[in-house]
Amino acid sequence: MFPFIGAIMLLLFAGLLAAIALPRRSRAVGSLFSAAAMLVAVSALVSSFLSGAVPAPEQYFNYISQFGISFTLQFTPISLALTVMASIVAFVAIYSGNPEKSSEHTATSLLLLFEISAIGLFCSSNLFIFFIFWDVGVITLFFMIYLLGSANRRRAAIKFIIYEIFASSLLLFAILLIYFYTPIHSFDISTIIAGASSIPQHVQILIFALLFIAFLINMPAFPLHLWLPDAHTEASTQGSMVLSGILTKFGGYGMILVFQMLPISSTYSIYIMALATLSAIYISFVLMSEHDIKRIIAYTTIVEMSIILVGISSANPYGIYGAAYAMLAHGFAISLLFLVAGSVKHTYQERDIRSLRGVVSGSVSSAYSFITGIFATTGVPLTATFVGDIMIFIGAVTAFSVYGAVSIIAIILIGAFLYYVANKSILSTKEKLPVQEYIGFSQKAGMAILIFFIFLFGMLPFIVTNLFNV
């Protein structure tokens, strides 16, 4: 069978080397190789849909054979969906996410390295390799914020890395505990799932607590979310797109693994659901006090990831796979919103919704792409988010009765506020800010690509859902 993951990783690594070697053409070279990797990922999805099964695992070499650590990558239905999403978002970020065309060489190189780490993490069959890709992705994004962000970027980057180092430390400790307490000492995820029930209960509780906190920081959700708004505010447009579109899925995917690996997880489902519901509703109100359009979008990420956590906490197939589908959908929707926010900033040199006016007059593509992003974020029918949210709430109500649907309140709240922002700042024509500089074709093409996939996976969800075991 064709080695899809190997081809994707090889293309991205070759693109990274080419971008480093050709600084003056780094964006063009990076876009070309990232586009090729995206096409391979989409081909893997189409092949899986036609055959009804994901491709076989791909083992390349023994990494540390004494500990049974091999560099093996494999697709599961969830990792395949997230790989497709990550490859599309990363390509759009490289090709379209820098309207100012500043620091293209550094940005392209870091984005390609981050894309390698993201796809490697989603496809890892070994927890040790998972951890390596996790840390590479986190460190790469630290440099994206620190080197390429705005005025207060260094403070935001330091805050980000402090939270993430803490999460990584907890993650590593938990992985080592899993290795030592499984009957067959192994980092292999399938072996751990098969033998986790024999881990002593008190050790399972400790491992669960460590992993839960680590992944909650990364998702993020209340009360461990404080790094995200500042990171987004100071990050470049490209940084915000991959930070919210892809990095937050590290935590979501990890949380799914927790529920698959540790039987003790379901014992705490009701408490996790309650925390996730509180997080979604609380952050919805916090969001309404913001005026910077990037901070508003950043807070919507916390709301959506909290709703995804509600689905995961249900610990049933509808909730788990619904959360995975919602992560795919959220990656497209939030990347679109951040791309629009960056384009609006470039066009008007303004991000404050109290001053921003007349976007629909000066930049029609940005205005209507923003409206589409709101539709996708709030789960309007025919968007991919609608499918994910429906599955999440079916799973949550099945597990928790009517209490599983309480977090719908958060969707209503952020939907009302986002439509208010759109009406006041984007669609209003009573006042018009002067256009400083128009966006280019690449930004419009990037918006179109993301909108296409938002509706493709909204109207044809069976391309992915037929692979799910529900």
Quote the percentage of the chain above a pLDDT of 70: 99
What mean pLDDT value characterizes the chain?
90
Quote the percentage of the chain above a pLDDT of 90: 59
pLDDT at 470: 65
Q: Helix or strand or coil: residue 468? A: coil
pLDDT at 359: 81
- Cα distance between residue 44 and residue 357, in whole Å: 43
> Per-residue DSSP letters for 380-433?
-TTSHHHHHHHHHHHHHHHHHGGGGGTTHHHHHHHHHHHHHHIIIIIS--SS-P
- pLDDT, mean of residues 36-44: 95
Q: Is the pLDDT of residue 1 over 70?
A: no
Q: Helix or strand or coil: residue 152? A: coil
- pLDDT, mean of residues 102-120: 92
Q: Which residues contact 401 (CB under 8 A, 6 or more apart)?
A: none
Phi and psi torsions of 171, nearest 5°: -60, -45
Token pair belonging to 400: 């928790």
CA 68 to chain centre: 30
pLDDT tens digit sequence for 425-438: 888 777 777 777 77
pLDDT tens digit sequence for 184-202: 888 888 888 888 888 888 9
pLDDT at 290: 87
- Cα distance between residue 123 and residue 142, in whole Å: 22
- pLDDT, mean of residues 54-64: 77
pLDDT at 272: 94
Count CB-CB contacts under 10 A for residue 56: 10
- Give yes or no for a cis peptide into 220 (omega within 30° of 0): yes
pLDDT tens digit sequence for 220-268: 888 888 888 888 888 888 999 999 999 999 999 999 999 988 888 889 9
pLDDT tens digit sequence for 348-369: 888 888 888 878 777 888 889 9
Q: Helix or strand or coil: residue 224? A: coil
At residue 8 the predicted structure's pLDDT band, cuts being 50, 70 and 90, is: very high
pLDDT at 226: 85
- Cα distance between residue 397 and residue 390, in whole Å: 11
- Cα distance between residue 192 and residue 26, in whole Å: 42
CA 359 to chain centre: 28
Nearest to 31 by CA among 88, 103, 102, 99: 88
pLDDT tens digit sequence for 272-331: 999 999 999 999 999 998 888 889 999 999 999 999 999 999 989 999 999 999 999 999
